[in-house]
């Protein structure tokens, strides 16, 4: 069983990555949104901004670290699994 950690949102980097107030970069596990200049980038980033507003908090369950030293995590706010919510959005987007 993994431990949930409370983090505060500093900024949204793109549709599947954000930075915490402590400078930690979190990438959502099992979600792969478009990169800059790819179709759907703006929509996916905007969607994550709504799901995880700046200065709000979220809970993360760390899964691993990637080659860029980002924390790969399952993210939730209150009772919503953000990873699952974003995957559904991605399916509707494409």
What is the reported pLDDT for 34? 83
> What phi and psi values does residue 49 have, to the nearest 5 degrees?
-60, -35
Neighbouring residues of 22: CB distance < 8 A, sequence distance ≥ 6 = 7, 8
What is the reported pLDDT for 62? 95
Q: What is the pTM of this model?
A: 0.88
Distance between CA atoms of residues 38 and 79, nearest Å:
31
What is the reported pLDDT for 40? 85
What is the reported pLDDT for 46? 93
Taking the chain (94 residues) in runs of 10, the rounded mean pLDDT of each run is 87 95 96 86 91 95 95 90 83 74
What is the reported pLDDT for 83? 84
Domains and CATH numbers, the chain: 5-93 (2.40.50.90)
What is the reported pLDDT for 31? 87
């Amino acid at each position: 069983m993994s431990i949930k950690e409370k983090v505060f949102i500093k900024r949204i980097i793109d549709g599947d990555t954000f930075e915490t107030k402590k400078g930690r970069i979190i990438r959502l596990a099992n979600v792969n949104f478009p990169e800059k200049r790819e179709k759907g980038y703006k929509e996916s980033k905007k969607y994550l901004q709504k799901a995880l507003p700046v200065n709000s908090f979220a809970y993360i369950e760390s899964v691993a670290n990637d080659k860029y030293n980002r924390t790969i995590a399952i993210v939730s706010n209150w009772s919503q699994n953000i990873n699952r919510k974003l995957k559904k959005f991605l399916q509707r987007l494409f």
